Structure 1
Amino acid sequence: MDRPLSVLVALVLVSFCEGWKAPEFCHGKQCPEYQLVKKTQDFEERLYVATNWITITAKTFNKEGVIGANLKLKEYCKKHNQGSQDDRIRVDTWPALLTSKEGDNLDLTLSWFIPPGTMPNITDESIRLEQRPAATVYVRVFGGTPDLKVGEDNAEKLRKALNEAGNTFDPHTYSGAAYESFFSFHHHNEIWIYAA
């Protein structure tokens, strides 16, 4: 077995043996499970388990688009959760994940984490379930009120740090992870860039 695969297997086994203890910035709510692989002055390297998300595409790439997408998810979940108890969408989770993808068009999506063991049936065509495989994610942590421009600036700082460290990554996609309400006095924000 080559070294990278054996390290991956060891990390997965350690996470199952020790159990997952969510970090403080999850505020006692469920959030995606990960193992910290490495921490530098500029970023963390984390190995995330496979995760599920409820996702909507923002209509515009601006603050109004994000607010509209967030309201649509809230309204949908509230309406959906009035039905069967077996098919509820858990909304007491973190983070809210805003993902920017560059391509022919700029794409901006908002996702909420769905805890393991739950998989709601989505009936709105504008909302979808996303299954993300286990992955290595590079993370930059920063404070302050979440903002698209601040997120872009921190994504650029993370890309620069990753290039300087010789890491390979997807240069066209990044996610901003928020772990508090927009109106909170303190914010733990992250930029996620997936390893290539």
Structure 2
Amino acid sequence: MEKTLLVFVALVLVSSCKGQKWTPPGFCHQKKCPEFKVVETNQDFEERLYVATEWITTKVESSKSSDLMAAFSRLKNYCQKQNEAGYEISDDVWPRLITVTEGEDSSAVSMSWFVPPGTKTPENTDESVTLQSRPEDTVYVRVFGGFPSIESGQENAKLLREALAKAGKTFDPNTYSGVGYDHYISFTHHNEIWILAV
């Protein structure tokens, strides 16, 4: 009887561990998005552990909407060109990131799109678009709604930095990403600010 019970417990444990698959949250709109685990949640932010990810990234000349649209077009054209060449880079993914690195005299801005795991990617020959690998990282996240803008991103990055300092977290004070999961013309928006832990 004891041996039978032991075998039964082992089978239950194996079956419960087998096949566990990550399910993207609702704000990913049933599209592939980066896998993460929530480590901690508090009133002002969430701490997430993201798996290693791949992105396509292009520089944004300024925060003007015309420069943001030009960056968007570069990434979309890159995906289309690579797909015509037999690769599988989708432009129908979430999230889309706008990363701002603030310096003493100026800021550097880039736009990135997530590349799902297993995507067949080319050797990069396009100087305006780079393939970027990000290691597993702890990311602090502030969620906010409303129409996304550079101004709302800056304000929410400021609020997240203040909350992280108050909570005693160590983080990169110069870089943040504004993260979007919805089309620009959507009626509702799930926006996030990401700041990397250090």
TM-score band by shorter chain is 0.7 to 0.9
Deviation, 1:16, is 8.7
* Range with greater deviation from structure 2 (161-170 or 52-61): 52-61
Q: Work out whether residues 61 and 107 of structure 1, in 8 Å CA contact, stay in contact via their aligned partners in 2.
A: no
Partners of 2:153 and 2:194 in 1: CA distance? 10
Q: What is the percentage of aligned positions where both structures have the same residue?
A: 51
User: What is the one-letter code of the residue matched to 1:95?
Assistant: P
- Structure 2 partner of 1:3: none
Partners of 1:119 and 1:158 in 2: CA distance? 36
* Equivalent of residue 149 in structure 2, options 147, 150, 156: 147
Partners of 1:52 and 1:116 in 2: CA distance? 7
Partners of 2:194 and 2:168 in 1: CA distance? 17
Partners of 1:127 and 1:106 in 2: CA distance? 19
Normalised TM-score (structure 2) = 0.87
Partners of 2:82 and 2:53 in 1: CA distance? 21
Deviation, 1:108, is 0.4
Q: Deviations over 1:160-189 (max 9, x none)?
A: 000000000000000011001101111000
Deviation, 1:119, is 4.2
Task: Summarize the alignment of residues 4-83 of structure 1 with structure 2, pairs less than 5 Å apart.
Answer: 18-83=20-85
Where has structure 1 moved over 6 Å in runs of 4 or more? none
- Structure 2 partner of 1:97: 97
- Structure 2 partner of 1:88: 88
Deviation, 1:88, is 1.8
Partners of 2:27 and 2:139 in 1: CA distance? 17
Structure 2, unaligned stretches of length 5 or more? 1-16
Partners of 1:94 and 1:144 in 2: CA distance? 17
User: What is the one-letter code of the residue matched to 1:145?
Assistant: F
- Structure 1 partner of 2:111: 110
Partners of 2:115 and 2:43 in 1: CA distance? 31
The Cα RMSD (Å) is 1.7
SS at match of 1:89: coil
SS at match of 1:161: helix
SS at match of 1:78: helix
Deviation, 1:64, is 1.9
- Structure 1 partner of 2:136: 134
- Structure 2 partner of 1:9: none
Partners of 2:48 and 2:18 in 1: CA distance? 16
User: What is the one-letter code of the residue matched to 1:163?
Assistant: A
